[in-house]
Amino acid sequence: MTPFYSLGARRRVALGSARRWEAHCYNPRMRRCLALAIAFAGFLLAAEPAQNDFRFSILGDRTGDAQPGVYERVWNEMNALHPDFVINVGDTIQGGNDATAASEWRAISPLWARYRYTIYFTPGNHDIWSAASHAIYEQQTRRPAFYGFNYQKAHFTVLDNSDAPDLSGDLSETQMQFLARDLEQNRDRDPKFVFFHKPFWLIPVKLQSSHFPFHQLIAKYGVRHVVSGHGHQYVHAVEDGVTYLEAPSSGGKLKGQGFAQGWFYGQVLVTVKGSAVSLTVKEIGPPFGQGRSFQPKD
């Protein structure tokens, strides 16, 4: 809920309080009292919750079958937008081999070091496929396989369904329990986003059904955006007030043709102002695309 006071109003209260303290304490022998007044005003200002005003970029799958130069081009074009941070939807390495997994992560890390953005990773089935690859993933990304984080007044939940059957069922009981706890602990934050790799929601949402456990849970806590990857196709759908998004490929081989059908390389720029969220889908430019962009309607 938006506070009834504004930052300006709180600042006036804080400074007014400091001046009253100063009036009572203006005495050469009581300068420490004035210092306390200043510190008190600073405390009130610091207590003001941050208002949402930020942008972040969503990157799609880099693999499977990474196409040479595409992921690098996505990062170059993303950098021109100056997002506050980056979050992906999984499948960063080709994977499948415990012996080479760490070297695959190390091979791509110089690109991230060049741009120096904070990256929040989501695990995909090309990233985690075994106990060993799970440990390597967490070591190399410096992120747990599933976690939550806050940015200003917004909340993000990242889940791990890397080992789930493709597009069937729901989240595992472990993931559902974590999601429920995480959303309960952050119920007053707005907006809320949930990320995971495999879009098991595709079938029920395309059938315009909200009667599946995951949707019922996030609706209870006011989640309005769910983001996945895996299919290398841009998909946007709204069900019961929740925007479901499959991010376009950011390097993984396209499995179909046609921009209108969602087959293109790109990224998604998300702008958050207060509780309002707007999406801008951006196709990368030549030679991999025409550089088109659009804003989907929720």
Domain locations along the chain: 7-47, 53-294
Distance CA 101, CA 106 (A): 9
Q: From the CA atom positions of the chain, what is the Rg in Å? A: 23
CATH architecture of 53-294: 4-Layer Sandwich (3.60)
User: What's the confidence (pLDDT) of residue 49?
Assistant: 52
Which pLDDT does position 19 carry in this prediction? 44
pLDDT score for 20: 44
Residue corresponding to tokens 């059908």: 261
Does 169 sit behind a cis peptide bond, omega within 30 degrees of 0 on the bond before it? no
- Preceding amide of 204 cis, omega within 30: no
Q: What is the 3-state secondary structure (H, E, C) of 167-195?
A: CCCCCCHHHHHHHHHHHHHCCCCCCEEEE
The amino acid at residue 195 is: F
One pLDDT digit (tens) per residue for the chain, 298 residues: 333 223 333 333 343 444 443 444 445 554 554 454 445 445 444 444 559 999 999 999 999 999 999 999 999 999 999 999 999 999 999 999 999 999 999 999 999 999 999 999 999 999 999 999 999 999 999 999 999 999 999 999 999 999 998 776 789 999 999 999 999 999 999 999 999 999 999 999 999 999 999 999 999 999 999 999 999 999 999 999 999 999 999 999 999 999 999 999 999 999 999 999 999 999 999 999 999 999 998 7
Q: 195 - beta bridge partners?
A: 158, 227
Cα–Cα distance, 267 to 208 (Å, whole number): 26
Question: Do residues 52 and 274 make contact, with C-beta atoms less than 8 angstroms apart?
Answer: yes
78 φ/ψ angles, rounded to the nearest 5 degrees: -65, -40
Question: Looking at residue 27, what is its pLDDT?
Answer: 54
For the chain, give the number of residues.
Answer: 298
Hey, what are 131's tokens?
Answer: 């106990």
Give the model's pLDDT for residue 133. 98
